[in-house]
Structure 1
């Protein structure tokens, strides 16, 4: 159930930095007419095809306003997220809840707001950016929230199929963004990951496995 990016309107949460910014750039390179790129604080954009939107994805009213503003979108990329809660046993429960509120419930909130808009427009694609840590233990609240997002993505794919809405899960290892700038490890190029994501949107893939580590883990866990 792929869709043509050329001429489309898209929404990318967390779209002003890191992987989200790379996805915005790739969508525009493929011919998207407009991209609504959200961030938690206002940021100026130089491309007239980009509409910057100040948004906290944990805010119901803000997400509702975004869905109304970008009601013509046929592509929604849930990229915004939060690190934290390194230990499920020792970290503050409030911090753990904040991570789940952003990474799971934030993406679900955006999906629920846009699903009726996409259905009314005849369908579209929702992309959830998860992680290879969806399938690996030991990463505290972040990994657990991404595991929950993986499960939710699969369930949403089933729920939304009859409305003409396709749901893609994206899974990746370390990627060169400010979130992990201090880690001295091999990292994916965000532009390459973004290219694979947009390929998945156009081809109608269920999953995008963005690097060899992720592909190996996916096979080992489910073989």
Structure 2
């Protein structure tokens, strides 16, 4: 799909990967980028259109759809992580928040914007997923669950929207160097690099974008032996408990 002159909406576009995506779309020639966030950004760039958008709020999703009738590319980027295991979490609050933001939010956006994308020629819908859409890490248990659900959404909506000409893209990544992962001591991908790879995936009409080294490594390992992969996960978890 051609990026030049496209009209883009990026959720969670005010910081981190979202901000990098906004800048990447502008550099690629997008005519207009709606920057969705709970607190709208301020910008003098006439190509940027800040909108107040909490994707867990049905009224704000509906208002965004009403205001952004010209969108040709929707990027569901907004996400949260509680960094809690399944059994070790002190409450269900984090898990519920993750499901609301990482699954129900993109679902609400897809339902609201599918008719708009159809009206505007099909376009593209991009869901920002994770390597944890493919496997579960105990230390990020409920986050993994929400990203598994988001992958199911991506695969299902892809089938539903294919006939209207909408390309549905799942973008995968490991840890990205953003505010969300500040306290994690592990290799992290640059949000600029991840955004560039997602842009390239849209241009190439890809349905799956492995946007960093981690996503390539995990996919290769899982394709080799899922049992062996989980044996390593078990060992890492056991070692961390001692």
Structure-2-length-normalised TM-score:
0.88
Q: Which residues of 2 match residues 120-135 of structure 1 at below 5 A?
A: 120-135=119-134
For 1:128 and 1:85, the matched residues in 2 are separated by 21
Q: Which residues of 2 match residues 1-223 of structure 1 at below 5 A?
A: 3-84=1-82, 86-91=84-89, 92-137=91-136, 138=138, 139-223=140-224
Deviation string 1:173-212 (CA, Å, 9 cap, x unpaired) is 1111111112232211111110110111111101111122
CA contact (8 A) 1:128 1:153 kept: yes
CA contact (8 A) 2:14 2:40 kept: no
CA contact (8 A) 2:151 2:170 kept: yes
Moved more, 35-44 or 88-97: 88-97
CA contact (8 A) 2:85 2:142 kept: yes
User: What is the number of residues matched between the two proteins?
Assistant: 221
Q: Which runs of 5+ in 1 are unaligned?
A: none
CA contact (8 A) 1:85 1:99 kept: no
> Offset of 1:85 from its aligned partner?
5.9
Task: State the superposition RMSD in angstroms.
Answer: 1.2
Bigger RCO of structures 1 and 2 (CA < 8 A, at least 6 apart): 1
Deviation string 1:134-179 (CA, Å, 9 cap, x unpaired) is 1221221111111111121111111110111110001001111111
Structure-1-length-normalised TM-score:
0.95
> Offset of 1:84 from its aligned partner?
1.2
CA contact (8 A) 1:85 1:96 kept: no
Q: Which runs of 5+ in 2 are unaligned?
A: 225-242
Computing the radius of gyration from Cα coordinates, the structure with the larger value is 2
